[in-house]
A and B are shown apart, each in its own frame.
Chain A
């Protein structure tokens, strides 16, 4: 039996179905991510798990207990929001101590635990500050500390890093992951940033329109997208119809699939033994740090190629190039 089991979850608001047939299992101590475009129902799932929203049907079972009739305050679930939701009239210490105070724990013990917790989130020197005196990143650390101090069975994180700039975000991602490992807390992170999901998760649930489109480890999701939606959402995959691809490589494909995906970094310029071969005219080249992404025109279609940035630009716009791809890198989509 898994630690968190969500079965057959449905949620409708009036006539519109927001979630349909959600099934999820999460093991104790796992870090899983719900990844999906805006409005696909990620927050709704978290709110249902926390008991803040009622499901239309379906069950949520945590640590062997059916949550149906358990109030939010007794669920032992923590939640961190994108907008921090710190208590504005309380200091950092008071914010973090809140959960323990509600449990009527001895004040001296609270003090000690708060100090420990603030050290874990690197805020030991900010204990007496008010939330409005902190940066966004610091506020989110306080929110994290406040949620973690009561040692929830499951911590839900609803886009906790989306309001922060790229650098702090990266830093907090790795902090979050190491705190999670250190405390062994089961976490469910919601994000619409696929890089973030890849970087921190044990398991990813990719959602689309109220359903789960694919689940698996980050590597499985990235290397074996099952549908066009995943291929487009998860990376800069090139997606071709069967006719387009056969035309480009100049031969019949053995597979019966209607659509195919090729990762942009799986296309390269040196011929090998079993390569498919396609030619294209370079029409656009964008350098983003260590990666150069070049778009080639081939007949009606374009495809993009990503290469590590070795020695400056290596393609000339307007020139024709020969490109190669291994047959096993041509992924069949269903």
Chain B
């Protein structure tokens, strides 16, 4: 009994420890003045509103969406078909996929940044494209896991076989049977990748910096000028991530329901 109470207490502390800064930040984003009091003196929407009136924020947001979304779309055009083919037809090469996935985890952002600058600045390729390329590679783990699990869950090979025996062409089997069946899993992988890239700071800051100002870089700048606005940015970011997380969990649940036998 006593032990239980103690561990509950620890858990409560942990939750508070983790939640407190988030709550405080969110509150700060709506506080009029919060200097000498325990709680803010008043609440206001003006920080949030000013954020939406600031074109450089809107542009930064747009750039972030463009960059992260672009990387995800590129990955879906070039990487996902490759994963399909490997998982379905050449399963013995999956170990190379897994090695590639581990390598992605193994390289810290800083080293990657130095590598990118060294290699590509001399070749005259715009650095933002180099970052985009690195992004496409860096989401490989999420995309690979998501795709492979979906294919395994629905027993993709057999679905394709059945569709063909029922008179579908290979293309019809893919488009009408396999893709709709694995779509929730793929989409969850895409959202996850997007949210990871959206929060990326190290690479973009070191390689491109303020030449391509994303939300993260905008946030960094605002930290030194206005705490309230920076808090408002963080608040918006958290809301966005919350929505993405919920969507991912709904989609994952759906794809599991689909696979239930």
Contacts and interface: CB of A to CB of B under 8 A. Distances in A.
Interface of A: 50, 52, 71-75, 77-79, 81, 83-85, 87-90, 98-99, 102-103, 132, 136, 139, 146-147, 150
B177 A81 contact: no
A150 B166 contact: yes
B167 A73 contact: yes
A58 B169 CA distance: 26
Contact of A85 (B162, B168, B172, B180): B162
Interface of B: 154-155, 158-159, 161-169, 172, 177, 180-181, 183, 257-261
Closest 9 CB pairs of A and B: A102-B167, A99-B166, A88-B258, A85-B158, A132-B260, A89-B180, A72-B164, A85-B162, A73-B164
B158 A73 contact: no
B158 A98 contact: no
Contact of A77 (B154, B165, B169, B177): B165
Given A132-B260, A139-B261, A85 B166 contact: no
Given A73-B167, A88-B181, A102-B166, A52 B154 contact: no
Contacts, number: 73
12 contacts: A71-B164, A73-B166, A73-B168, A75-B165, A78-B166, A81-B158, A83-B155, A98-B168, A102-B172, A132-B259, A132-B261, A150-B167
A147 B166 CA distance: 7
Nearest to B180: A89
A73 B165 contact: yes
Contacts of A88: 154, 181, 258-259
Contact of A103 (B164, B167, B180): B167
Contacts of A90: 180
A79 B165 contact: yes
Contacts of A74: 167
B182 to A, nearest CB: 9
Contacts of B172: 102
Contacts of A89: 180-181, 183, 258
A83 B261 contact: yes
Nearest to A81: B158
Contacts of A146: 162, 166
Contacts of B167: 73-74, 99, 102-103, 150
B257 A102 contact: no
Nearest to B173: A73
A85 B165 contact: no
A111 B15 CA distance: 56
B161 A79 contact: yes
A132 B261 CA distance: 6
Contacts of A85: 155, 158-159, 161-162
Given A72-B165, A98-B166, A87 B159 contact: yes
Contacts of B180: 87, 89-90
A78 B161 CA distance: 10
A139 B259 CA distance: 13
A147 to B, nearest CB: 8
Given A52-B161, A83-B158, A87-B177, A132 B257 contact: yes
B175 to A, nearest CB: 12
Contact of A81 (B162, B257, B260): B162
A207 B28 CA distance: 76
A98 B163 CA distance: 8
A77 B167 CA distance: 9
A81 B154 CA distance: 13
Contacts of B165: 50, 52, 72-73, 75, 77-79, 147
Given A81-B162, A85-B162, A73 B258 contact: no
Contacts of A98: 163, 166, 168, 177
A154 B156 CA distance: 24
Contacts of B168: 73, 98, 102
Contact of A84 (B177, B258, B261): B261
A132 B258 contact: yes
A74 B169 CA distance: 10
A70 to B, nearest CB: 12
Contacts of A99: 166-167
Given A89-B258, A103-B167, A79 B162 contact: yes
A142 B162 CA distance: 13
Contacts of B155: 83, 85
A250 to B, nearest CB: 57
Contacts of B162: 79, 81, 85, 87, 146
A127 B172 CA distance: 23
Contacts of A83: 155, 158, 261
Contacts of B177: 87, 98
B29 to A, nearest CB: 41
Contacts of B169: 73
Contacts of B258: 88-89, 132
Contacts of A103: 167
Nearest to A79: B165
B226 to A, nearest CB: 49
Given A72-B165, A150-B167, 11 more contacts: A50-B161, A73-B165, A75-B165, A77-B165, A78-B166, A83-B158, A85-B159, A85-B162, A89-B258, A98-B166, A99-B166
Interface centre among A79, A147, A150 (most CB of B within 10 A): A79
